[in-house]
Amino acid sequence: MDELRSSPVTQEPGADGALSRRIAFGVFAAAAAYFLWAEHRAHVIAYLPWMILAICPLMHVFMHRGHKGPGSHATGGDASQPGQEP
């Protein structure tokens, strides 16, 4: 009996548990997405043009995060970038 308890475990911890949790989460997420679409399709389609218009300023804000601010293009930018002259 002591031999069974003291035998080393050769399996990596969480190897099969992580995969089964990912599969379970994927199935749950797919079912939730289906039911959300099936039940709220009319609402989503009705507001789709407004959602697209709302996305435009959000994309503008988040895509310009890398800029240093107004005027950074004209004053001392990196000369190695294409399209800019030194």
CA-to-CA dists, residue 65 to 32, 51, 54, 61, 84, angstroms: 33, 22, 18, 7, 20
What does the pLDDT read at residue 64?
80
Q: Give the confidence band of 65 by pLDDT, cuts at 50, 70, 90.
A: confident
What does the pLDDT read at residue 53?
92
Instruction: Provide the residue ranges of all domains of the chain, joining segments of one domain with +.
Output: 41-66
Residue 20 has pLDDT above 80, yes or no: yes
Residue 74 has pLDDT above 90, yes or no: no
DSSP 18-57: HHHHHHHHHHHHHHHHHHHHHHHHHHHHHHHHHHHHHHHH
